[in-house]
């Protein structure tokens, strides 16, 4: 079992003929994801890898192929437009990989998507993968293993590091979700925690947070109220100086709020077991899965 994506996922790739879009579309196909359509305006009627039909609009792709999930690889200036288009076409899950989307755009995009009953993951995220069934985004499939640990993270390669440790120790994953490193994103830690709690295929949850904002603190409160499954957590950025944007637009300590110490304290208060190093995930998850 899994959350958000599985074997019923029918995927459309927005920006399928671009450099990043075509590379990752190929990888998703190879992984076995049901990639049913691509969209690039002006290239409608062509085929990707001589099999996936390309359409001019997402609405056409949905009408012709029954696509229910979209992944977006378009440049930052066009990303908001691509999300609006997917939501209007009736796509239920929209995953935006693009980094560098202006925050002002997101203030309008997020309510628009929500009012249409769709879910947005990202932007500036690696996407998600339910090992063995569906890969939507850029998480390398070969480091994942089907299993019962749900993972949610604000980062990309740090997620790979942790997933790799789990897989090497034969601990499989139900779904790994990268929610993105921007200050405003469509899906929060809380959304993923709720979904993992409600997913019968998930037995334990790993949550990878970082400095900046209060999402991790809010997630810790939610764990206390709602989550009955064991949670293991990590916070990146203990050595980050205040006031500096650490790569991710959202990873910035402003004033006294958003520090790693504050977030770790919130995790511990919610009985979340906190890793000191990425490799600690193995022992901590093993201990809670017993």
Partner 1 sequence: MNLHEYQGRVLFRAAGIPMPDGDVASTPSEAESIARRVGGTVVVKAQVHAGGRGKAGGVKLAKTPAEAAEAAEKILGMSIKGLVVQKVLVVPAADIAQEAYVGLIMDRASQRPVFMVSPAGGIDIEEVAEKTPEKILRLAVDPRYGLLPHQALTLALFLYQDIAQARAAAKIMEQLYTVFTSNGCSLAEINPLVTTPEGRIVALDAKVSIDDNELDRRPDLALLRDETAEEPSEVAARRANLTFIKLSGNVGCVVNGAGLAMATMDLVKYYGGEPANFLDIGGSSNPDKVVNALRIITSDPEVKAILFNIFGGITRTDDVANGIKTALAQFPVKVPIVVRLTGTNEVEAVKILQGIGMKALSDMDEAVQQVVALVKEAA
Angle at 84 between CA 78 and CA 90, to 5 degrees: 135
Residue tagged active-site, from 10, 119, 248, 263: 248
Nearest distance from residue 98's CB to partner 1, in Å? 10
Exposure letters 189-220 (e unless 16+ CB within 10 A, then b): bbbbbebbbebebbbbbbbbbbbbbebbbebb
Nearest distance from residue 228's CB to partner 1, in Å? 26
- Residue 242 lies near partner 1 (rule: CB under 8 A): no
| SS3 state of residue 95 | strand
Please choose, out of 39-47, 190-198, 243-251, 263-271, the segment that lies near partner 1 by the rule CB under 8 A.
243-251
Q: Which two tokens stand for residue 38?
A: 């691509």
- Residue 111 lies near partner 1 (rule: CB under 8 A): yes
Nearest distance from residue 81's CB to partner 1, in Å? 12
Q: Which of 67, 143, 149, 207 binds partner 1 (CB under 8 A)?
A: 143
Q: What is the DSSP string of 228-260?
A: -S-EEEEEE-TTPPTT---SSTT---BTTBT-H
- Residue 18 lies near partner 1 (rule: CB under 8 A): no
- Residue 138 lies near partner 1 (rule: CB under 8 A): yes
- Residue 211 lies near partner 1 (rule: CB under 8 A): yes
- Residue 250 lies near partner 1 (rule: CB under 8 A): yes
Q: Which of 73, 160, 196, 222 binds partner 1 (CB under 8 A)?
A: 160
Cis peptide before 41, with omega less than 30 degrees from 0?
no
- What CA–CA distance (Å, rounded) separates 116 from 254? 33
- Residue 276 lies near partner 1 (rule: CB under 8 A): yes
Query: DSSP code of 197?
Result: H
Which residues ranging from 69 to 98 are in contact with partner 1 (CB under 8 A)?
76-77
Q: Which of 5, 36, 58, 101 binds partner 1 (CB under 8 A)?
A: 101
- What CA–CA distance (Å, rounded) separates 140 from 143? 6
Q: Where are the beta strands (DSSP E) in 90-243?
A: 93-96, 119-121, 127-130, 134-137, 146-153, 173-178, 204-210, 231-236
Please choose, out of 66-74, 81-89, 154-162, 221-229, the segment that lies near partner 1 by the rule CB under 8 A.
154-162
Nearest distance from residue 36's CB to partner 1, in Å? 24
Nearest distance from residue 143's CB to partner 1, in Å? 8
- What CA–CA distance (Å, rounded) separates 19 from 23? 6
Please choose, out of 41-49, 64-72, 87-95, 270-278, the segment that lies near partner 1 by the rule CB under 8 A.
270-278
| SS3 state of residue 14 | strand
Q: Which of 153, 174, 187, 259 binds partner 1 (CB under 8 A)?
A: 153
Going by C-alpha positions, the residue among 29, 1, 2 that lies closest to residue 13 is 29
**Residue 248 designated active-site:** yes
Residues labelled catalytic? 248
Query: Which residue ranges make up the site for partner 1 (CB under 8 A)?
Result: 20, 23, 76-77, 100-104, 106-108, 110-111, 126, 138-140, 143, 153-161, 164, 181, 183-184, 208, 210-211, 213-215, 218, 234, 236-241, 244-251, 255-256, 260, 276-279
């Amino acid at each position: 079992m899994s959350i958000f994506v599985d074997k019923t996922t029918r995927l459309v790739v927005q920006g399928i003929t671009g450099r990043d879009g075509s590379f990752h579309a190929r990888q998703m196909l190879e992984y076995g994801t049901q990639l049913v359509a691509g969209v690039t305006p002006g290239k409608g009627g062509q085929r990707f890898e001589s099999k996936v039909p390309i359409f001019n609009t997402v609405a056409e792709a949905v009408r012709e192929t029954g696509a229910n999930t979209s992944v977006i690889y378009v440049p930052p200036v066009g990303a908001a437009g691509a999300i609006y288009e997917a939501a209007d076409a009736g796509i239920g899950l929209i995953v935006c990989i693009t980094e560098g989307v202006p925050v002002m755009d997101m203030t309008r995009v997020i309510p628009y998507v929500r009012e249409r009953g769709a879910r947005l993951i990202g932007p500036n995220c690696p996407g998600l993968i339910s090992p063995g069934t569906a890969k939507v985004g850029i998480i390398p499939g070969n480091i994942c293993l089907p299993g019962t640990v749900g993972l949610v993270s604000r980062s990309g390669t740090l997620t790979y590091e942790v997933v790799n440790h789990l897989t090497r120790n034969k601990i499989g994953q139900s779904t790994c979700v990268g929610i993105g490193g921007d200050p405003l994103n469509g899906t929060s830690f809380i959304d993923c925690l709720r979904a993992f709690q409600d997913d019968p295929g998930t037995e334990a949850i790993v949550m990878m947070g970082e400095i900046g904002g209060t999402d991790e603190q809010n997630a810790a409160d939610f764990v206390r109220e709602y989550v009955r499954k064991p949670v293991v957590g990590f916070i990146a950025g203990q050595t980050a100086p205040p006031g500096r944007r650490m790569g991710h637009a959202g990873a910035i300590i402003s004033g006294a709020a958003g520090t790693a110490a504050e977030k770790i304290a919130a995790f511990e208060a919610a009985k979340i077991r906190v890793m000191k190093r990425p490799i600690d995930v193995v022992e901590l998850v093993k201990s809670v899965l017993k």
